[in-house]
């Protein structure tokens, strides 16, 4: 009897230490001014013919600063202490993590000026936690998650069921994305995006970092169409001649719209992305995401990586595409991540993608 109680309590303590946590996340949506190129320069090449159009503000161009919405993470439900993101995160929202069997409680407070929700990919939810506005025949509580009005808070419950978990052939964690689904392309162009990570049991440390890698980075490549943002009206005011810009916008002037297309990584263009800090020999995971527009081909110079546990030198980012890329850093130096798409390359769009930098301190110190 005593021994079976003991066995049971041992079983329970092992069970509760390895399985099925409730994980709470506290996230706000807040409006802010975002600069895609804080240096105001093309830091990749000297050819400024295209980059000036995207960076410099003129009478008839907005430049590199836009009003956007950012997701911020807080320590608890008082929403007072922010968990500050690393500089390389750019405007990408917090990474939500859990292990197979866990249930995520995502407390979402909308502090922006219009409705947003949170819609996850790759986890299990019921109708009250889908975070997606469409004519699905639901009502009452099942409708409240679709859009959260300004000033309101809603708790989404997402389960990391076995049927959504990494398979034995996967890496230990599988990234997916989350974003609002009020009108998803506009919501995403407004900046409301983040990564959600589903891990095999026993992968995460108590502080949520992974036991099996040394560094984790988010790599969100997209062609952000700022004229499609919900907040374009405020950004138009930054033109030196706002009336002229408003006119071009209303006429759907092609050149004007093209100069608001930001070929960005984590919200930075032309090498303005802050370094991904890595030491030589570290195992690095990139949670790569493509969402709205275009195909992008991930390439990195001076390093090699694996994708789906296979060695490769290039990976295509599609639309609503989420994958893990793994790299053990060799060859110290500052290296560039960029888009290899021929069209982008030839049309100089390549230069609009931000530089990545595996930044090895040992090398820098030697310098
Ligand atoms: C960008 O958004 C504007 C406004 O919604 C739209 O007219 C234009 O076609 C979009 N451009 C691209 C390349 O999607």
Q: Where are the domains of the chain?
A: 18-231+259-366
Q: How far, in Å, from the CA of 291 to the mean position of ligand 1?
A: 15
Query: In this predicted structure, what is the pLDDT of residue 143?
Result: 87
Nearest CA to ligand 1 atom 5: 228
pLDDT(101) > 90: yes
Q: What share of the chain has pLDDT > 90, as a percent? A: 60
pLDDT(238) > 50: yes
pLDDT(163) > 60: yes
Pocket probe for ligand 1: among 184, 190, 228, 246, the residue whose CB has the most ligand atoms within 8 Å is 228
Q: Is the CB of 225 under 6 A from ligand 1?
A: yes
Nearest CA to ligand 1 atom 7: 252
**Within its chain, how far is the Cα of 37 from the centroid?**
18
Q: How far, in Å, from the CA of 144 to the mean position of ligand 1?
A: 30
Rounded Cα–Cα distance for residues 149 and 143 (Å):
12
Nearest-10 Cα torsion for 146, 149, 150, 156: -40
Q: Is the CB of 228 under 6 A from ligand 1?
A: yes
Work out whether the CA dihedral 187, 94, 143, 160 comes out positive or negative: positive
Who wins on pLDDT, 7 or 317? 317
pLDDT band (50, 70, 90) for residue 365:
very low
Q: How far, in Å, from the CA of 241 to the mean position of ligand 1?
A: 22
Nearest CA to ligand 1 atom 14: 225
pLDDT(357) > 60: no
Asked: is 18-231+259-366 a CATH 3.40.50.720 domain? The reply is: no
Q: Is the CB of 253 under 6 A from ligand 1?
A: no
For residue 269, the tally of other CB atoms under 10 A from its CB is 26
Who wins on pLDDT, 263 or 189? 189
Rounded Cα–Cα distance for residues 226 and 288 (Å):
21
For residue 32, the tally of other CB atoms under 10 A from its CB is 13
Query: In this predicted structure, what is the pLDDT of residue 18?
Result: 55
The answer to which of 73-77, 134-138, 212-216 has the lowest mean pLDDT is 134-138
Angle at 356 between CA 350 and CA 359, to 5 degrees: 150
Q: How far, in Å, from the CA of 260 to the mean position of ligand 1?
A: 10
For residue 45, the tally of other CB atoms under 10 A from its CB is 13
User: What token pair was written down for 224?
Assistant: 């952000």
pLDDT(345) > 70: no
pLDDT band (50, 70, 90) for residue 361:
very low
Question: Which ligand 1 atom minimizes the distance to the CA of 260?
Answer: 1
Q: Is the CB of 252 under 6 A from ligand 1?
A: yes
Q: How far, in Å, from the CA of 257 to the mean position of ligand 1?
A: 7
């Amino acid at each position: 009897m005593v021994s079976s109680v003991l066995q049971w309590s041992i079983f329970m303590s092992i069970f509760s230490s390895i399985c099925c946590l409730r994980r709470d996340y506290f996230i706000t949506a807040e409006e802010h001014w975002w600069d895609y190129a804080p240096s105001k320069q093309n830091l990749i090449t000297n050819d400024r013919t295209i980059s000036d159009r995207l960076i410099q503000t003129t009478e008839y161009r907005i430049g590199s600063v836009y009003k956007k919405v950012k997701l911020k993470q807080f320590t608890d439900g008082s929403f007072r202490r922010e968990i500050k993101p690393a500089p390389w995160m750019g405007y990408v929202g917090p990474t939500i993590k859990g292990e197979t069997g866990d249930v995520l409680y995502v407390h979402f407070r909308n502090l922006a000026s219009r409705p947003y929700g949170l819609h996850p990919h790759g986890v299990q939810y019921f109708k009250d936690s889908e975070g997606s506005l469409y004519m699905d025949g639901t009502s009452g509580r099942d409708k409240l998650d679709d859009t959260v009005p300004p000033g309101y808070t809603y708790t989404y419950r997402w389960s990391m069921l076995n049927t959504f978990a990494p398979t034995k052939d996967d890496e230990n964690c599988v990234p997916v994305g989350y974003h609002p689904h009020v009108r998803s392309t506009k919501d995403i162009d407004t900046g409301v995006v983040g990564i959600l990570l589903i891990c095999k049991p026993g992968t995460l440390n108590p502080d949520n970092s992974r036991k099996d890698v040394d560094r984790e980075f988010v790599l969100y490549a997209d062609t952000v169409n700022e004229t499609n943002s919900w907040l374009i009206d405020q950004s138009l005011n930054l033109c030196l001649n706002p009336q002229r810009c408003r006119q071009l916008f209303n006429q759907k002037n092609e050149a004007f719209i093209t100069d608001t297309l930001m070929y960005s990584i984590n919200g930075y263009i032309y090498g303005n992305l802050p370094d991904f800090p890595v030491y030589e020999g570290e195992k690095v995971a990139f949670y790569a995401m493509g969402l709205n527009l275009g195909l992008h081909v991930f390439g990195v110079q001076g390093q090699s990586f694996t994708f789906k546990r296979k060695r490769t030198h290039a990976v295509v980012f599609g639309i609503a595409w989420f994958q893990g890329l793994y790299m053990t850093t060799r060859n110290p130096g500052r290296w560039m991540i960029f888009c290899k798409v021929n069209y982008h390359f030839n049309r100089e769009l390549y230069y609009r993608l931000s530089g990545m930098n595996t930044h090895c301190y040992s090398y820098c110190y030697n310098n």
